[in-house]
Every structure is written in C-alpha cells, then in structure tokens.
Amino acid sequence: MNWKALRNNHYPVMRSRDLNTTPVSRKLLGTSIVLFRAQGGKVAAFLDRCPHRGARLSEGSVCKNGNIRCPYHGWAFDAEGRCTSIPSAAKEKPMSFPSMVLSCFEKEGAIFVSLEREGSRVSNPWHTPDWEHSDFLLENRVKADFRYVLENFVDAAHTAWVHTGLFRSKAKNLVEASITHLEDGGVRISTTGEKQNPSLLARLFGMTEGEVFHQDLYAPPCSVVVDYQFGKQKVRSISVCTPENESETRIFTKVYHSRQENPLFHRIKNRLTKEITQLVLKQDKKILEEQHEGIAEFGEKGFAATESDAPVMHVHKAIQNLLRGNKGLSGKEVRVKYYL
C-alpha cells in the first residue's frame, strides 16, 4: 500500500483512558510507534525504535519524572526526544533525537498521532454536533483492509442481513439516495423514503412511525459520519478507521445522541445504545474478516454490483483517488433507488 497520501493526518490510535503508567505500542500506516505519558501526564508519541541500538522503547518503562526508558541499556528520553540518562556512561554528553518525536494530541477521549511532524491538526476530528448530547467511544480492531472497513459503514444493503433485528429488519422500503462528491474529496449520501422498521435500535429511539432523516458522509481520509433524525431525536455516529497496516484496522466509533428530558431514561438509553452498538460492530468485524480472507484467496477483480452498491462504489472511487493523489470528482451527483 502506498501510505504517502495518508501520512499527513492525525489518526486516533488508542483511548486516553488506556494510557497510564506503562508505554503502549501501536501501529500506524505500517509504522511501529510508542505512546507514553510524560511529565504532568502529557501524552507523547515516538517512533518505536531506540536511537541507541534499535530496541523497542515500548518494551521499556516510564520513569517517575515521565521520561521513557529503553529496556536494553537503560537510556532515558524526555518528551522532546532529549536523552536524559545513560546509566553506563562515565561521562554523559548531551544528545537529542527530535526526529523520533511524533505530533500528537488528545481529544475527547482518544489520542491522535501523525507520522509527519507537520501533520495538519484536525479542528474537529470527531465531528462533534452542536446540539446537546451524550456520547460514548468504542475501540475495535479488525483484520481487514481499512478501505473495506470504511466502505462497510456506507453500505446500507448489508445491515438487514448482518445486523438482522438489531439495526434493521428485513422489511422492505424503496428508498432514493442522492450521492454527491464534495470539494474536499468526501462523499455525501442522503437517503429519502426510509421508514421505521421494528429493529431493536429503532424501538430504543422511539423510531416507530414517520419518515427518517438519514445521511452518511465519507470524510477523508478515514472517517464515516452517519446522521439519523426522527422527530426531535438525533443520533450521530462517527467511525474513524485507522489503518495499522495493509490488513489490520482499528476502528474508533463515537456515538452522540440528543438529550432526553428524563435524565434516568437518558442514562439507560446511553448504556443500552452502547451495548447494542458494540454488538453491531462485532457482527461487522466477523463479516469483514471473512471477506478479507475471501479477497486474500481469490483477489478483488471482477466484483459484480447493482444500483444498491452505488454508495459503496462512489466512496471506493473517492478513496482510490485520494490514495493515487488524483483530483476528486467534486460536484458530481447521482441518484439511485434501492430497497432497504
């Protein structure tokens, strides 16, 4: 995979609450990185290679002063990459390794890292809504190519099959989708004609009658934002599919839902939505890993498609354009009909 087009971005790599007193190793775009909490709890991210002899810093420890110590000869480094201790040296000389330091920040429960020092800081990486909400964050790891994982999130046709009864039932509505390529290389899919169906999530949100507002957005490079609205109720989910390497992807899913008048009911709903979303993601993981194995064995050439695959195909095209450094299809719009 040519990761060049993806490097200049920050990606969530782990949840904030999972980084405590020991270093944690992660992969990002095929590169091994290490994360730790430096002085004052500030998060730091390095390339996972000790500048002394190449050992894995992630196998080391974090000292009381927040420096990271290599397990091989005990050299220690501060958050800026300055070497602060060489236990075996009779005479220490000042050394600094700024090139191993990566750009990183924490935002709403996750740690974001870029492999490029100039990596653009995303202003609103979670697409946080401006309405009052509660939210939760889930982390899952899938043995599959990030492109297929992203495409799964705009693939409405699978939901009644993979998530039967949980997310969608097999009730059939003829819907119309308007697919628009945006200036930033993203793709917006607005679906009209979607009716309520008797799934568990639909019941939980009181989606029992009337039409639903539904919009999916592929936000480059690796996010899909899904919005639902029915009456006053709003739900937004954002899934960031961080590529670890060509065959592994870490999915960070944040779900926002609008506040209820009754706080107890609101808390219960938040809890239940979290459990159901995790179940849905587990079902996606299973099918995506099976698909990944199928593609690894037989290849991906010659797939058949119908109009109901249009959202997936258009997002696929947008991702390919991004990876190849091609201009997007900004302004292009198509309309398709299918059953949901």
CA gap 327, 277 in Å, rounded? 35
151 binds Fe ion, rule: CB under 5 A: no
53 binds ligand FES, rule: CB under 6 A: yes
Based on CB atoms, which residue is closest to ligand FES, 38 or 50? 50
Give first-to-last CA distance, the chain, whole Å. 34
- Write each residue from 263 to 292 as x if it is in contact with ligand FES (CB under 6 A), else as -, in one continuous string: ------------------------------
Based on CB atoms, which residue is closest to Fe ion, 227 or 284? 284
Residue 284 interaction partner, one of ligand FES, Fe ion, none, beta carbon < 5-8 Å per kind = Fe ion
CA gap 321, 327 in Å, rounded? 7
284 binds Fe ion, rule: CB under 5 A: yes
Shortest distance (Å) from residue 330 CB to Fe ion = 28
What is the size of the binding site for Fe ion (CB under 5 A)? Answer: 1
Shortest distance (Å) from residue 16 CB to Fe ion = 26
Based on CB atoms, which residue is closest to ligand FES, 85 or 291? 85
55 binds ligand FES, rule: CB under 6 A: yes
Q: Which stretch binds ligand FES (CB under 6 A): 28-36, 52-60, 136-144, 185-193?
A: 52-60
Based on CB atoms, which residue is closest to Fe ion, 173 or 260? 173
Residue 206 interaction partner, one of Fe ion, ligand FES, none, beta carbon < 5-8 Å per kind = none
Shortest distance (Å) from residue 85 CB to ligand FES = 10
295 binds ligand FES, rule: CB under 6 A: no
User: What tokens does 23 get?
Assistant: 């270093």
What is the size of the binding site for ligand FES (CB under 6 A)? Answer: 9
Based on CB atoms, which residue is closest to ligand FES, 51 or 220? 51
Based on CB atoms, which residue is closest to Fe ion, 67 or 249? 249
Number of C-beta neighbours around residue 174 at 10 A: 11
CA gap 80, 322 in Å, rounded? 32
Shortest distance (Å) from residue 69 CB to ligand FES = 8
52 binds ligand FES, rule: CB under 6 A: yes
Based on CB atoms, which residue is closest to Fe ion, 77 or 338? 338
Shortest distance (Å) from residue 222 CB to Fe ion = 17
- Write each residue from 58 to 87 as x if it is in contact with ligand FES (CB under 6 A), else as -, in one continuous string: ------------x-xxxx------------
How many degrees, rounded to 5, is the angle at CA 317 between CA 333 and CA 4? 130
Interface residues with ligand FES (CB under 6 A) are 50, 52-53, 55, 70, 72-75
Under the rule (CB under 5 A), what is the footprint of Fe ion? Answer: 284
